[in-house]
Amino acid sequence: MRAGACLIALLLITTVNAQTSSGSAYHRAPDVIAKALETPPIPGVAVGPDHHTLAILGRENWPSIANLSKPISRLGGYRIDPAANGQAEVRVQWLNALSFKDVGSGRTVAVKLPAGLRFAAPNWSPDGTRLAFCAHEADGLSLWIAERNGSARMVARGLNGTFGTPFARMPDSKALVSNTVPASRGAAPVSSSTPTGPVIQESAGRTSAARTYQTLSYAGHSGPRFGRRNSSGEDIRRWRRAWWNPKVIPIRTGAIGCETQA
């Protein structure tokens, strides 16, 4: 009995020492499990408006620890990546590869993208000649155009995708409009963990059910922070109204990103 207890104690000490010597770094799973987890997901497909071309979209597998550990701003029920001015990692299915396939011939053309580029919100032009998407970069979001011949180029930087897709198309397939971060936007308000008073909610004197959401915006610093994130140098809705009725809001040259090369 005593010998068995000594053996168990020795095994426990050995296990603790092994864990301590290996440090606190993450460990790779056994090859059989790792192979299953690291298998690329099935690509997504976006059918072109002409129904003759497919955009084959490579989907990113499990997000890295570095991406998941990025700071998140929780405002008004949203999860925001403050560095990129976009939605937080947990809210986006990032894509990492793009190719075009002709349905009739089966010919596939891979689009040449920078190594490690992550993108989302692929969107066909109405005439089916090109695809626009929003790319994630170290200092923010950018707008890209991919041609069916396999070429791709960036047409704008500094997009504001905090509350959804930061760009939209014009009906002529020649231009895009985008929400951008205004150059005059100042620093974020400093948050305080000390309340200045109670949180008061009124129901106008009626008994009624009220939904409860996480990270609701209340009076104080959260309101200005929410407004700062929602600010945009160019507003998509404004430009769309201008397109349909130019007399209401004059369209200024250079405010939209042209898709066609000069």
Q: 204-219 pLDDT, tens per residue? A: 777 767 666 666 655 5
54 in a domain, yes or no?
yes
78-81 and 73-75 beta bridge pairing = antiparallel
Tokens of 133: 């998407």
102 in a domain, yes or no?
yes
Cα separations (Å) of 25 from 19, 21, 22, 30?
10, 11, 8, 16
pLDDT bin (cut points 50, 70, 90) of residue 197 is confident
111 in a domain, yes or no?
yes
Name, in order, each residue with C-beta under 8 angstroms of 70's C-beta and a sequence gap of 6 or more.
Answer: 81, 83, 88, 89
CB of 226 closer than 8 Å to CB of 75: yes
The backbone torsions φ and ψ at residue 5, rounded to the nearest 5 degrees and listed phi first, read -65, -40
Task: Share the mean pLDDT of the chain.
Answer: 76
- Provide the residue type at 88 as one letter: A
pLDDT score recorded for residue 91: 84
211 in a domain, yes or no?
no
Q: In the chain, how many domains are there? A: 1
81-117 pLDDT, tens digit per residue, is: 988 888 888 888 899 999 999 999 999 999 999 999 9
pLDDT score recorded for residue 222: 57
pLDDT surpasses 50 at 16:
no
Q: What is the CATH number of the domain that holds 84?
A: 2.40.128
pLDDT score recorded for residue 2: 52
pLDDT bin (cut points 50, 70, 90) of residue 228 is low
Helical H segments across the chain, by residue range: 2-22, 31-37, 65-68, 222-230, 236-244
Name, in order, each residue with C-beta under 8 angstroms of 112's C-beta and a sequence gap of 6 or more.
Answer: 150, 151, 152
What is the rounded average pLDDT of the residues 144-163?
92
Interatomic CA distance for residues 223 and 178, integer angstroms: 24
125, 136, 162, 135: which is closest to 258 by C-alpha?
Answer: 125
pLDDT bin (cut points 50, 70, 90) of residue 188 is confident
262 in a domain, yes or no?
no
What is the rounded average pLDDT of the residues 241-249?
39
pLDDT score recorded for residue 164: 85
The backbone torsions φ and ψ at residue 113, rounded to the nearest 5 degrees and listed phi first, read -115, 155
166 in a domain, yes or no?
yes
135 in a domain, yes or no?
yes
- What three-state secondary structure class fits 106? coil
Cα separations (Å) of 98 from 142, 161, 165, 209, 216?
16, 21, 19, 47, 38
pLDDT surpasses 70 at 229:
no
Higher-pLDDT residue of 13 and 173 is 173
246-259 pLDDT, tens digit per residue, is: 333 333 333 333 33
What is the rounded average pLDDT of the residues 17-23?
49
pLDDT bin (cut points 50, 70, 90) of residue 172 is confident
Domain that residue 159 falls in: 31-183+243-250
74 in a domain, yes or no?
yes
- What three-state secondary structure class fits 14? helix
pLDDT score recorded for residue 257: 38
